[in-house]
């Protein structure tokens, strides 16, 4: 038997991945010398076994030499090792970067034997940045452990790797002594153009390029109509519906960019891109999908109602469970709690087919309740210029054909020291004046819905709430932990897109505050909603539906739920996805945990969950509703919820934003003028409304600047990158250790998702499903798992990444 085995390691680095177009090719003098003498990259092979006395075996080490630097951005290093016989299986490779710059390590492949006929020993997919080693001290960065792609629960870690597993986690967590930058005041946040993102959470270059290109394109779009306006007044409404339609035509010339300087306060980075743009000719906005189908859909009540079930905010509609409706706010502050929506009003609108008590009993009444959420902000927002605000309640009736009929809208201004409470109920009418008031009331509710959607359904419940899972998983789960492998694809780019959002969208003075009805109270409102509404156990799809009364548990029903509205496209398609994720996760959990004891005894898993609850969601750490990870079922349910939120919930509320909101009359982000009938009535405004209600509604809609900026942003946010990774897709097929049970479960997951695509296509063609199929109706495709790149209105990426 040979005393040594020749082992060759080939390490592949990418020079163009990682964003900011940073080249990783060694270029400075010191690095060049290091390369010449072959001292740039140091590799150590770690045995999985201990020696006979129970100690770690000495590592086998070697410097690697650069052997190839092709023009396609791939740099290859090779190292040769003499591995003693009896070394045991290689369980990890330690990589030390002695260059002066970070390197993106793609993979390391180990082969045994020299020359032709080498056999592969190990393939490690690293996909991670290795920072330069700055000193001789063991503790300095630059040394990274990459484990063989085989997963182990902590208790099953091969003996030789136990310390490496612990050290690897400790290094990722740091020792808590890191210092804030000098100008970083921990008690307050100051405006900054950069938000820290851990290195491995950055966009790949493909994503970066796509995002920038799309942004550039969109900002050109946004800038044009503004530039065309002769009066550069940011409050200017659109002069006519014709001008709104013109936004969707091609080939308008862009005047000199100097005239757009005022845009700099809104989108400074974008303006820079604009300067480097391709010239004067620009393309305008694509026509949104709903307008292509039916240009006048935005005017129709039935479309308003349908979008609560099959639009981009299907998370707001709820069952009316008591009547009369009553506010939970303090009447001493806000005025009488009882709603002005009476049984008489509703019964008239229902055509007296039944009484309100009967409708309640039959679960036929539904509502959008934006009353208690917005009422405390009404006077604060009204003190700002060029805007107004109400609390609102909107009531729907479930008809015999399964569709919702819009019955009434109540708008409320709470009492204030100077004014009593004002509220009025608006209804559809054959009286033309009332009919226009009805349209204006709808515009207000839609603006409330747009704010609720972006700040709560979208930002808070997906982008924001996923961050604690990401941080805790990276800090507490070793890279060899099976649950880390399961969750990792669902965290892709979330930290990065959130950092971008924090610098451009939700920041003080950012686009959300500029253009959405809660204005500068936007983030405050989001925080209040987190405080009052967010609970982990209600973030699962079944939990959310039951909470809103849109479903009740029924073991005999499909998915165990009976829906209150049978044709609820988001819920019906979403439950298919929920169940598919659940089956995959249950199979995965079953593969790694034999019983309850294995779960309770997994210290990394418990530390992860503990950190999510007590640190990430620290404000809610004492809530009784947190699941305890003590059985395979509770673990699977918890993980299914996390994956559902990061992937499917986000997709449902994200990728239709341009389709439904691009034509802003359908979804104005803000309603800026009071109802002309609000008391005390402004006679001049009332006169103008009666004279030209078309103009009055355009003045209520977002200004030209607000509308175009929002359109540009919705366009970017609705776009799938060309490197998108979809739920259950090939790109994230788990490959660790060639585990047959995991492979089979993933294959079944993938097959099920493909099957679901077909089921959804079938449903969209089923004429009996009137909430998703009919004249001029956009088919409901947001829960279709796969998509092409671009704005497609379908596709569920693994993670919240745009």
- By beta-carbon proximity to Fe ion, the closer residue of 290 and 654 is 654
To Fe ion, the closest distance from the beta carbon of 459 in angstroms equals 8
Within 44-63, which residues bind Fe ion (CB under 5 A)? Answer: none
Print the binding letters for residues 190-209 with Fe ion: x by CB under 5 A, - otherwise: --------------------
Phi, psi values for residue 391, rounded to 5°: -90, 155
Which CA distances in Å does 746 have to 267, 342, 796? 43, 53, 16
Least distance (Å) between residue 657 CB and Fe ion: 8
Shorter beta-carbon distance to Fe ion: residue 96 or 654: 654
Tell me the window of 408-416, 623-631, 652-660, 694-702 that interacts with Fe ion (CB under 5 A): 652-660
Run of H or E including 103: strand 103-112
Distance from the Cα of residue 127 to its chain's centroid:
23
Long-range contacts of 78-82 (CB under 8 A, 24+ apart): 78/8, 78/9, 78/10, 78/11, 79/8, 79/9, 79/11, 79/41, 79/43, 80/6, 80/7, 80/8, 80/9, 81/6, 81/7, 81/8, 81/9, 81/43, 81/45, 82/4, 82/5, 82/6, 82/7
Under rule CB under 5 A, which residues in 528-547 are in contact with Fe ion?
A: none
Closer residue to Fe ion (CB): 645 or 677: 645
CB of 800 to Fe ion, least distance (A): 6
In whole angstroms, what is the distance from residue 337 CA to residue 325 CA? 8
Nearer to Fe ion, 482 or 797 (CB): 797
Q: Which is nearer to Fe ion, 540 or 654 (CB)?
A: 654
Nearer to Fe ion, 34 or 784 (CB): 784
Rounded distance, CA 469 to CA 461, Å? 13
Closest by CA position to 703, among listed 236, 288, 375, 339 = 236
CA distance 595 to 630: 9
> With binding defined as CB under 5 A, does residue 157 bind Fe ion?
no
Report d(CA 229, CA 704) in Å as an integer: 9
Q: How far is the CB of 802 from Fe ion (least distance, A)?
A: 5
Stretch of 52-60, 107-115, 646-654, 770-778 lying at the interface with Fe ion (CB under 5 A): 646-654
Residue nearest to Fe ion (CB): 654
The distance of closest approach from Cβ of residue 653 to Fe ion in the complex, given in angstroms and rounded to an integer, is: 7
Would you count residue 494 as binding Fe ion (CB under 5 A)?
no
Binding segment for Fe ion among 320-328, 353-361, 629-637, 649-657 (CB under 5 A)?
Answer: 649-657
DSSP 160-184: GGHHHHHHHHHHHH--S-----TT-
Query: Which segment (219-227, 654-662, 718-726, 769-777) binds Fe ion by CB under 5 A?
Result: 654-662
Least CB distance from residue 648 to Fe ion, whole Å? 13
Give the three-state DSSP class for 707.
Answer: helix
3-state helix, strand, coil in the chain (%, to 5): 45, 15, 40
CB neighbours of residue 408 within 10 Å: 24
Determine how β-strand 60-69 pairs with β-strand 41-47: antiparallel
From CA 377, how far away is CA 371, in angstroms rounded? 10
Q: Judged by CB, which is closer to Fe ion: 457, or 654?
A: 654
The enclosing H or E element of 274 equals helix 268-275
Quick one: angle between helices 494-504 and 465-476, nearest 10? 140
CB of 617 to Fe ion, least distance (A): 20
H/E element, 694: helix 693-700
Q: DSSP letter string over 487-527?
A: HGGGGTTHHHHHHHHHHHTSSTTSHHHHHSTTGGGHHHHHH
How far apart are the two ends of the chain, measured CA to CA in Å? 57
Using the minimum distance from each CB to Fe ion, give the nearer residue, 466 or 571.
Answer: 466
Which residues, 6+ apart, have CB-to-CB distance to 605 below 8 Å? 477, 481, 483, 599, 629, 635
The half-sphere exposure of 665 on its side-chain side, counting CA atoms within 13 A, is 27
- In sequence order, the 6+-apart residues with CB closer than 8 A to the CB of 770 are 401, 402, 403, 567
668 vs 709: CA distance, rounded Å:
12
327 in the Ramachandran plot: left (φ > 0), alpha (ψ -120 to 50) or beta?
beta
Which residue lies nearer to Fe ion by CB, 654 or 706?
Answer: 654
Taking the least distance from each CB to Fe ion, the nearer of 453 and 481 is 453
**Angle between helices 704-717 and 205-228 in degrees, nearest 10:** 160
Tell me: does residue 394 bind Fe ion (CB under 5 A).
no
Q: According to CB under 5 A, which one of 149, 476, 654, 703 is a site residue for Fe ion?
A: 654
Beta carbon nearer to Fe ion, 339 or 457 = 457
Q: Cβ of residue 267: shortest distance to Fe ion, in angstroms?
A: 18
**Cβ at position 499, least distance to Fe ion in Å:** 13
Q: Could you tell me the smallest distance in angstroms from the CB atom of residue 536 to Fe ion?
A: 20
680 preceded by cis ω (within 30°)? yes
Identity of the residue, 459 or 609, whose beta carbon is nearer to Fe ion in the bound complex: 459
The stretch near Fe ion (CB under 5 A) out of 84-92, 501-509, 647-655, 701-709 is 647-655
| Token code pair at residue 659 | 């389709």
Question: Would you say the C-alpha torsion 562, 565, 569, 574 has a positive or negative sign?
Answer: negative
Least separation in angstroms between CB 766 and Fe ion: 30
* Binding region for Fe ion (CB under 5 A) out of 236-244, 403-411, 574-582, 653-661: 653-661
H-only helix segments in 299-367: 301-310, 331-334, 343-349, 356-361
Q: Which residues are tagged catalytic?
A: 458, 463, 650, 654, 802
Whole-number minimum distance, CB 501 to Fe ion, in Å? Answer: 8
Question: Is residue 457 within the footprint of Fe ion (CB under 5 A)?
Answer: no
How many residues at the interface with Fe ion, by CB under 5 A? 1
CA torsion through residues 358, 363, 368, 370, sign: positive
Q: Minimum CB separation from Fe ion for residue 614, in Å?
A: 27
Which C-beta is closer to Fe ion: that of 486 or that of 501?
501
- Binding residues for Fe ion, rule: CB under 5 A, are 654
């Amino acid at each position: 038997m040979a005393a040594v085995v020749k082992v060759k390691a080939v390490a592949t680095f990418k020079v163009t991945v990682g964003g900011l177009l940073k080249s990783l090719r060694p270029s400075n003098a010191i690095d060049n010398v290091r390369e010449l003498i072959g001292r740039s990259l140091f590799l150590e092979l770690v045995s999985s076994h201990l020696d006979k006395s129970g100690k770690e075996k000495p590592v086998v080490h070697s410097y690697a030499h650069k052997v190839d630097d092709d023009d396609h951005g791939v740099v290859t290093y090779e190292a040769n090792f003499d591995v003693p016989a009896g070394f045991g299986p290689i369980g990890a490779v330690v990589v030390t970067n002695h260059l002066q710059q970070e390197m993106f390590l793609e993979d390391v492949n180990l082969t045994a034997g020299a020359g032709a006929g080498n056999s592969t020993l190990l393939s490690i997919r690293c996909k991670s940045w290795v920072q330069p080693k700055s000193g001789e001290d063991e503790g300095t960065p630059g040394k990274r452990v990459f484990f063989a792609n085989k997963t182990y629960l902590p208790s099953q870690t091969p003996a030789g790797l136990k310390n490496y597993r612990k050290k690897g986690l400790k290094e990722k967590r740091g020792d808590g002594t890191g210092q804030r930058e000098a100008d970083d005041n921990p008690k307050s946040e100051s405006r900054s153009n950069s938000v820290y993102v851990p290195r491995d959470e950055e966009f790949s270059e493909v994503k970066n390029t796509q995002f920038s290109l799309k942004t550039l394109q969109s900002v050109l779009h946004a800038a044009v109509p503004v530039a065309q306006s002769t009066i550069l007044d940011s409050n200017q409404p659109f002069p006519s519906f014709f001008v709104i339609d013109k936004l969707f035509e091609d080939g308008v010339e862009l005047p000199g960019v100097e005239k757009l300087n005022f845009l700099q306060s809104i989108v400074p980075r974008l303006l820079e891109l604009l300067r480097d743009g391709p010239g004067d000719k620009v393309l305008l906005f694509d026509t949104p999908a709903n307008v292509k189908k039916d240009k006048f859909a935005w005017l129709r009540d039935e479309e308003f109602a349908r979008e609560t079930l099959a639009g981009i905010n299907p998370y707001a509609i709820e069952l009316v469970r008591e009547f009369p409706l009553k506010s939970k706010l303090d009447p001493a502050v806000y005025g009488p709690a009882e709603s002005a929506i009476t049984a008489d009003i509703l019964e008239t609108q229902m055509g007296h087919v039944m009484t309100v008590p009967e409708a309640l009993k039959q679960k036929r009444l539904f509502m959008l309740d934006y009353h208690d959420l917005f009422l405390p902000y009404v006077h604060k927002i009204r003190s700002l210029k060029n805007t107004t605000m109400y609390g609102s309640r909107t009531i729907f009736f479930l008809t015999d054909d399964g569709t919702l009929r819009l019955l009434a809208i109540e708008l409320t201004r709470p009492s204030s020291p100077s004014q009593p409470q004002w509220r009025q109920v608006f209804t559809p009418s054959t009286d033309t004046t009332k009919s226009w008031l009805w349209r204006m009331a709808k515009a207000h509710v839609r603006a409330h819905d747009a704010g609720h959607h972006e700040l709560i359904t979208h930002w808070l419940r997906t982008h924001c709430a996923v961050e604690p899972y990401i941080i805790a998983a990276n800090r507490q789960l070793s890279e060899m932990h099976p649950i880390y492998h399961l969750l990792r694809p669902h965290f892709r780019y979330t930290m990065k897109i959130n950092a971008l959002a924090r610098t451009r969208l939700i920041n003080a003075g950012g686009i959300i505050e500029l253009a959405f009805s809660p204005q500068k109270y936007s983030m405050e409102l989001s925080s209040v909603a987190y405080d009052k509404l967010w609970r982990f156990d209600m973030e699962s799809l079944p939990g959310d539906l039951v909470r809103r009364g849109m479903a009740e548990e029924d073991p005999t029903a499909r998915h165990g739920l009976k829906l209150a509205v049978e044709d609820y496209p988001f819920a019906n398609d979403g439950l298919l996805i929920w169940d598919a994720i659940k089956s995959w996760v249950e199979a995965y959990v079953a593969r790694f945990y034999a019983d309850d004891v294995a779960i309770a005894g997994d210290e990394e898993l418990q530390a992860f969950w503990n950190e999510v609850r007590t640190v990430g969601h620290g404000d809610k750490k004492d809530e009784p509703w947190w699941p305890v990870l003590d059985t395979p079922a509770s673990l699977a349910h918890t993980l299914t919820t996390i994956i559902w939120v990061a992937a499917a919930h986000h997709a449902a509320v994200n990728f239709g934003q341009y389709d439904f909101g691009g034509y802003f009359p359908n979804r104005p982000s803000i309603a800026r003028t009071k109802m002309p009938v609000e008391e005390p009535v402004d006679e001049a405004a009332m006169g103008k409304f009666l004279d030209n209600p078309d103009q009055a509604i355009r003045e209520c809609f977002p200004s030209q600047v607000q509308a175009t900026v929002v359109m540009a942003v919705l366009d970017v946010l609705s776009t799938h990158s060309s490197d998108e990774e979809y739920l259950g897709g090939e790109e994230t097929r788990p490959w660790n250790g060639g585990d047959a049970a995991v492979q089979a479960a993933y294959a079944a997951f993938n097959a099920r998702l493909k099957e679901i695509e077909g089921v959804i296509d079938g449903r969209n063609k089923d004429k009996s499903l009137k909430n998703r199929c009919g004249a001029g109706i956009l088919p409901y495709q947001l829960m279709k798992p796969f998509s092409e790149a671009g704005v497609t209105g379908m596709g569920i990426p693994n993670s919240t990444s745009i």
